């Protein structure tokens, strides 16, 4: 008989177990538990139809309709489940631990699955945890103008054994008009939150977490409000690197991509650059003078970042001047600076 477990039990006791999410593809795409496999009981249209019948007719009519959709696919459910859990041990969930997951789990048991666990209150229970898990941790916030190589520094800090939350990597975006270059499709905000929590849950609360200073949104996704407020109220270590050095780094990061993407990004900030600067940037791009393009765009981004910096508590900003964008050397310098200053965030 399928056994009910809490979401806390799943997260702590069933690490590595196959997890089947039986919600519709639309629900799954909007947000799901990382690592879950979607074996939908109903398609998007079928789920909508069943819901309409439930509201307009009755629960029995909706259940009867559901069986009409499901019955022809019973063997398919078993085949797909075996592909996910060949040892016939699995965890199953739906939106809130209702009929869909229970019916699916019973079908698995009736067809030879020997260990089946059901997540009580389903995905809804996971979301509650995912959105309320960012307190009681120390945070070190790393800031700096565009092109300072903050992401590279964070990667080096990880190598040095520090805890790092790389928000831009999780968001699949670097936050600027050029931010999508080099990345695939962004997750939904809901999935971004889920993925963020999935990394956060493994951090040690006794040690600080390094995070890059960000705007409330990164591309099309939003940072959870409570986490963002924590980031903004913390001390900020601002690394100051010359515009010329930063432009050279940007050329390395962006010039290898195709020029149409760069041109599109320039056009998206054209109103802020102004007509003359935009025209000049496009001319330089056409001539493959990526360094000059970088200098032009940095003029805008530096002013934009300064506005945000001015809104922070100036007593909580530490400025560290660095000579270049050597991430390995800069990471070590930053750690030494923190040790000397005797603070690791609050």
- Overall domain count for the chain: 2
**Does residue 168 fall inside a structural domain?**
yes
Amino acid 140: pLDDT: 93
Tokens of 39: 């074996």
Tokens of 327: 């991430």
Specify whether 162 is located in the same domain as 308: yes
At residue 142, φ and ψ (nearest 5 deg) are -105, 120
Average pLDDT over residues 190-219: 94
**Does residue 210 fall inside a structural domain?**
yes
Per 3-state DSSP, what percentage of the chain is helix, strand, and coil (rounded to 5)? 55, 15, 35
User: For the chain, what is the radius of gyration of the CA atoms?
Assistant: 25
Which is nearest to 140 in space by CA: 212, 62, 73, 52?
212
Ordered DSSP codes for 193-219: HHHHHHHHTTS-TTS-EEEE---SEET
**d(Cα 240, Cα 280) in Å, to the nearest integer?**
27
Amino acid 171: pLDDT: 94
**d(Cα 222, Cα 239) in Å, to the nearest integer?**
24
231 neighbors 213 (Cβ within 8 angstroms)? yes
**d(Cα 191, Cα 221) in Å, to the nearest integer?**
9
What sign results for the dihedral spanned by CA atoms 289, 293, 294, 296?
Answer: positive
pLDDT tens by residue, 212-221: 999 999 999 9
Specify whether 16 is located in the same domain as 123: yes
Domain that holds residue 201: 139-341
Specify whether 225 is located in the same domain as 198: yes
Last-in-domain residue among 102, 130, 158: 130
Specify whether 82 is located in the same domain as 115: yes
Specify whether 227 is located in the same domain as 320: yes
Specify whether 86 is located in the same domain as 205: no
User: Which residues are part of the catalytic machinery?
Assistant: 94
Which is nearest to 301 in space by CA: 178, 181, 209, 199?
178
Last-in-domain residue among 77, 103, 130: 130
Q: How confident is the model at residue 344 (pLDDT cuts 50, 70, 90)?
A: very low
User: Is the pLDDT reported for residue 345 higher than 50?
Assistant: no
User: Is the pLDDT reported for residue 181 higher than 80?
Assistant: no
Specify whether 152 is located in the same domain as 85: no
pLDDT tens by residue, 308-330: 888 888 999 999 999 999 999 99
Specify whether 301 is located in the same domain as 225: yes
The model carries a pTM of 0.89
pLDDT tens by residue, 160-169: 999 999 999 9
pLDDT tens by residue, 238-276: 999 999 999 999 998 877 667 888 898 899 888 888 999
35 neighbors 123 (Cβ within 8 angstroms)? no
For the ranges 101-105, 157-161, 207-211, 250-254, which has the lowest average pLDDT?
250-254
Last-in-domain residue among 62, 96, 130: 130
Q: What is the mean pLDDT of the chain?
A: 91
Amino acid 271: pLDDT: 86
Specify whether 116 is located in the same domain as 183: no
Amino acid 33: pLDDT: 98
User: Is the pLDDT reported for residue 112 higher than 50?
Assistant: yes
Share of the chain above pLDDT 70, in %: 97
pLDDT tens by residue, 54-101: 889 998 888 888 888 889 999 999 999 999 999 999 999 999 998 999
* Torsion region of 102: left, alpha or beta (phi above 0 gives left; psi -120 to 50 gives alpha): alpha
């Amino acid at each position: 008989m399928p056994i009910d477990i809490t979401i806390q039990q799943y997260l702590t006791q069933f690490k590595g177990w196959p997890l089947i999410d039986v919600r519709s593809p639309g629900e799954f795409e909007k947000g799901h538990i990382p690592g879950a496999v979607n074996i939908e009981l109903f398609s998007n249209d079928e789920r909508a139809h069943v819901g309409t019948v439930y509201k307009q007719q009755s629960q029995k009519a909706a259940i009867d309709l559901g069986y009409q959709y499901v019955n022809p696919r019973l063997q398919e459910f078993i085949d797909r489940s075996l592909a996910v859990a060949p040892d016939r041990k699995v965890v199953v969930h739906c939106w809130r631990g209702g009929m869909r997951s229970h019916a699916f789990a019973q079908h698995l048991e009736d067809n030879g699955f020997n260990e089946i666990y059901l997540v009580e209150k389903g995905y809804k229970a996971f979301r509650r945890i995912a959105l309320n898990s960012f307190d009681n941790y120390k945070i070190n916030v790393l800031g700096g103008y565009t092109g300072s190589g903050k992401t590279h520094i964070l990667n080096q800090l990880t190598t040095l054994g520090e805890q790092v939350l790389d928000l831009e990597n999780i968001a699949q975006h670097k936050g600027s008009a050029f931010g999508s270059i080099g990345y695939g499709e962004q997750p939904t905000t809901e999935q971004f939150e889920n993925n963020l929590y999935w990394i956060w849950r493994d951090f040690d609360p006794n040690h600080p977490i390094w995070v890059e200073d960000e705007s409330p949104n990164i591309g099309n996704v939003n940072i959870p409000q409570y986490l963002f407020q924590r980031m903004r109220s913390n001390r900020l270590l601002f690394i100051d690197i010359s515009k010329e050095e930063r432009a050279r780094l940007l050329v390395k990061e962006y010039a290898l991509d195709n020029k149409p993407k760069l041109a599109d990004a320039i056009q998206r900030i054209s109103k802020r650059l102004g007509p003359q600067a935009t025209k000049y940037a496009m001319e330089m791009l056409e001539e493959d003078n990526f360094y000059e393009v970088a200098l032009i765009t940095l003029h805008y981004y530096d002013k934009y970042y300064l506005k945000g910096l001015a809104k922070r508590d100036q007593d909580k900003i530490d400025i560290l001047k660095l000579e270049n964008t050597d991430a390995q050397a800069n990471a070590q310098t930053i750690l030494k600076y923190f040790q000397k200053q005797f603070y690791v965030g609050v």
